[in-house]
Structure 1
């Protein structure tokens, strides 16, 4: 794969360092000073052992992965609509590379960002310079570089799956899509949420391991044997060996017979005394807060009592998913050479915002009745075919302009007078009779009007 890299002999490239310790390296910081010497540091892959960390990462990645990427354009009315399938940008959105479909590609993109804080996507172009393939790289094999004039490059290690055959390859920033989490220490180094969740996740993992060991011993805590008097070191060692042989391991839980006034006192506290469940809940809640995931989505705490699926999904979207979704859209716009103003990439939220059937039908009915959408537009949202005449927006006749209602001067359109056709075969004598009848009727109306005008007005006392 050729990247079109220009000569870098005249440039001095310095690796970017997040907080002075290799910000792209996949290790979480020490939870306390000296933790590394005690073998108590946590790597990203270790923290994924936490059920809540795993649930949060996969939930976000799967929800974004299922959103269909659309190529949209803005028309003269400012309306965004999907572009026809003959655009040269469509193939890479539908099938990003040779070993991933578009769902797997977006999932791997988000997982890399959440686990390591950075997502590096290598572009492959055709002879026209159009991007035809996208490969999400291993963040541990990519190092951002900055030249003496401020230009950004990326040093890639060998990655046969992504088509990087050499041990080390340096490419300009134009050939890499770099999506990063919040950059706390350097603008080119994103920091993973695992950085903040390390302590809480580590506590939860240790509690689970200790619990597994505890129940592996038939839930019998360790303790000490207390003798009423002094015993020699030899006797103490013999008693200890006999106790461990007869009442620990596979023999735990058997009946022990103690003589000479000896008694057993447990040293470990039980789950109730140590408030094990409360500590685990605290750990899980801290992890959810770091990933901005509502706890009920991953089994932490109780779900909200009100039954409004749309409101819950919109809260989850605005608090957790909106930022990474819009960041991915912007990165794809820049990576494919789209301006994002007249043409861009849009992730279809219909795959995420799904209302219950009753609420959806009520919302569509309100939109049609209010003249906002046409009936066929509403039918399209529920995957129903269009109907004849359904492309027209309907309004009721009694609606009037607001300015007329405010001034109390509603102008009713006067209907056109109905014309009565003259009979085709009327004789001259009949025509004269008709004219005479019309004259008599007009005279009677005039007399009645004069009579009303002559009557005095009633006076109210």
Structure 2
């Protein structure tokens, strides 16, 4: 254990393998405030926690499929889910023995957001195909690039000692922004000033609530009041003018007494503006739209679908590409990469589904009637319905389009 002594009066205890100690050793510049911004402090910031949780949960809940692209004897291309490949189950159902696909992806995503990097040990089976992805302890892996451009990973074991792992045994998922091409940037480092100032503001608010004067006003009089008069005044105030039921009630004052309310000063208003500004600053680092962070005063109204589209397009889409290409880089064998038949696909359509009315209009246009680009069974599959054959009859048969009757012209 190492105790960090800084310009602040308090001391902070850090583990030798903690990210905070690594930052201290590297000489990370302090925040604009006296608060040391670590993982715990950042997650206590409601805006930062909401943004990280929203992105990680969205990535975790979206289905991830291993797809296969093939060409038949006629040269026609076909696309199908590669369900016969072990990696399909790893990505879609069970990456390891103790995590679901949602738990694995959301955990790796929030690590990439907070620390910039997330690592998992690749366990391969027959033919070198991936059968498990096991997350490695955070802060225990360091990528190394040799002089001949060979990538390896230094893994520090909990029991002691280090081991060098080849790139084929480590799944590395990182933030798209990187300063050296190997390590992703940490949002905690990037937003250190904003989170630190926000933490100082919250601490100041706590001190005000605990030790500050919260009276709404004062009662003044030029006459002296005896103990009996003061006691009667306190009793009257407690019974007749406190609580929600007495809100807005006018007071009846005795002995020439005058009421002097306390009004919030411009300094208090600026303090409140500071807290709002720091929430906006933190939100910019994540790219999550303001309404989704739950501190926007405007109404969503009918723009909720556009808000979801903005979130997917400008916030989540870069993460989709980062996930897909990281899996293809680390989990495909060399032969699979050369063949270019397999690829990974996030189903972002699950986040873009509109109302039933919007979906009905979309699929109606997709079906035709003359130049449709989807079949009835493809539409049924989108709603998890079983396919229907074309020769079925009765109420369960798929309706077939009928040609409009042609009018016959008159002959003379």
Is this contact kept in 1: 2:191–2:282, CA < 8 A? yes
Shift of 1:376: 2.8
TM-score where L is the length of structure 2: 0.70
The residue that corresponds to 2:230 in the other structure is none
Q: Aligned to 1:57, what secondary structure does the other structure show?
A: helix
Tell me the alpha carbon deviations over residues 126-166 of structure 1, each in whole angstroms, 9 at most, x when there is no partner. 3542222112223311122233333222111114xxxxx65
Deviations 1:148-201 (A, max 9, x none): 333222111114xxxxx6531111222212222144431112112222222122
Structure 1: segments with no counterpart, 5+ residues: 1-20, 160-164, 222-265, 400-411, 415-451, 453-461
Matches within 5 A, 1:150-165: 150-159=149-158
Alignment of 1:54-453 (within 5 A): 54-76=49-71, 77-84=76-83, 86-93=84-91, 94-126=93-125, 128-159=127-158, 167-217=161-211, 219-220=213-214, 273-302=268-297, 305-337=300-332, 338-339=336-337, 341-370=340-369, 371-389=372-390, 397=403
* SS of the residue 1:296 aligns to: helix
Q: Is the 8 A contact 1:28 1:42 kept in 2?
A: no
Contact 2:39 2:188 (8 Å CA) reproduced: yes
Q: More displaced, 281-290 or 108-117?
A: 281-290
Distance across 1 between alignment mates of 2:376 and 2:27 = 55
**Contact 2:121/2:135, CA 8 A, preserved across alignment:** yes
Equivalent pair of 1:24/1:140 in contact (CA under 8 Å):
no
1:202 positional shift: 1.6
Q: Distance in 2 between matches of 1:112 and 1:383?
A: 33
Residue aligning to 2:42: 47
Deviations 1:363-405 (A, max 9, x none): 1122223522222322332333444539989667479xxxxxx
CA distance in 2, matches of 1:65, 1:26: 32
Query: Aligned in 2, Cα 1:169/1:52: closer, same or farther, shift over 3 Å?
Result: same
The corresponding residue for 1:427 is none
Corresponding residue number in structure 2 for 1:16: none
Q: Secondary structure at the match of 2:183?
A: coil
Q: What are the superposed Cα offsets for residues 44-70 of structure 1, whole Å, 9 maximum, x if unpaired?
A: 332111011111111000000001221
Rg larger for = 1
Aligned residues: 325
The root-mean-square deviation of aligned C-alpha atoms, in Å, is: 3.4
Task: Tell me which residue corresponds to 2:12.
Answer: none
User: d(CA) in 1 for partners of 2:283 and 2:167?
Assistant: 34
2 CA distance for matches of 1:125 and 1:323? Answer: 28
Local SS of the residue matching 1:140: coil
- Structure 1: distance between partners of 2:67 and 2:268: 60
User: 1:13 aligns to what?
Assistant: none
* Distance verdict in 2 for CA 1:393–1:289, change over 3 Å: farther
Contact between 1:27 and 1:44, CA under 8 Å: does it hold in 2?
no
Contact 1:24 1:139 in 2 (8 A): no
